[in-house]
Amino acid sequence: MADPRPIGVFDSGLGGLTVLTELVRALPAESYIYLGDTARLPYGAKSSRTIQRYSQEVAARLLEQNIKLLVIACNTASAHAESLLRSELAIPVLGVIQPGVDALLAASLHNRVGVIGTRSTIKSGVYEQRIRARKPEAQIFSKACPLFVPLVEEGWIEKRITQLVIEEYLSEMVREEVDAVALGCTHYPLLKKAIHNVYPALRLVDSSEEIARQAASLLASTPGLAAGTNSRPQVRIELTDLTEQMNDLERLLSGLPVSSVEEIQLSAAAPH
């Protein structure tokens, strides 16, 4: 038996398309609906309460479309809303934090690790908790890097100012001899090359490949959940705000078998 229902993937914006790309690569027979809440980006500076409400609204929209699995590609939403959504939804929910932690600990040689993310992600302390749960002896250095998101959005990857901001945020970790850093935000993988140019010895870990591997293993181990070989896979993109400035959209979507890109409106979550 096969299950042709789509996998729902959500992010506050377009950065999560890197996760979608890895999912499509790992599970090409599946269909996907990607919802980017571009109208309300950034999530990274908002309160836990607001991030949870936004996440519930996005999840409700995806559930209306009969998804069989929810992948939270956004680190900030994973940090604040993953356990809430898991307790509320009847379908499996995967967030990016645990795959990021697994990949980080696999990459680190000396258990001196760094975590970078938005203010809300770092404030939640969830990376530290999950790292300590697996490796109590790990030395963890965390840093909120709020300027990275606007630099990426502006496309200023190769500018001198970006190099200075990288030094400002990461020099302390490097002094502390951290050997691997989790890129705990959807936008940061786009800065990998720039960070590598400044700190070539630092291992930079992003969760997209690992979450795709975990999604593939979930589908393989749950009888009847995979789409099967006769499926006609579709990738639909829904954004809560579609502007003409989204230069990145075309680039990020290139290589993905996208069948539609649509602007949608979310309904407000029912108050608890």
Applying CB under 6 A, among 18, 31, 38, 118 the residue interacting with ligand DGL is 118
Alpha-carbon gap, residue 26 to 195, rounded angstroms: 27
Q: Which residues contact 39 (CB under 8 A, 6 or more apart)?
A: 239, 240, 241
Q: Catalytic annotation on 145?
A: no
The secondary element (H helix, E strand) that includes residue 165 is: helix 160-175
Q: Does 187 bind ligand DGL (CB under 6 A)?
A: yes
Rounded least distance, CB 212 to ligand DGL, Å: 16
Q: Which member of 9, 19, 74, 225 binds ligand DGL (CB under 6 A)? A: 74
Please report how many Cα atoms fall inside a 13 Å half-sphere around the Cα of residue 248, on the Cβ side.
16
Query: Cα separation of 137 and 240, whole Å?
Result: 43
Let me know: does 266 contact 36? Beta carbons within 8 Å. Answer: no
**Is 207 one of the binding residues for ligand DGL (CB under 6 A)?**
no
Minimum CB distance to ligand DGL smaller for 39 or for 202: 39
Rule CB under 6 A: is residue 12 a binding residue for ligand DGL?
A: yes
Residue 41 binding ligand DGL, by CB under 6 A:
yes
Q: Does 130 bind ligand DGL (CB under 6 A)?
A: no
Rounded distance between C-alpha atoms, residue 210 and residue 205, angstroms: 10
Locate tokens 């229902």: which residue? Answer: 5
Site size toward ligand DGL (CB under 6 A) is: 18
- Name the residues that contact ligand DGL, by CB under 6 A: 11-13, 15, 41-44, 74-76, 117-118, 121, 149, 185-187
Active site amino acids? 74, 185
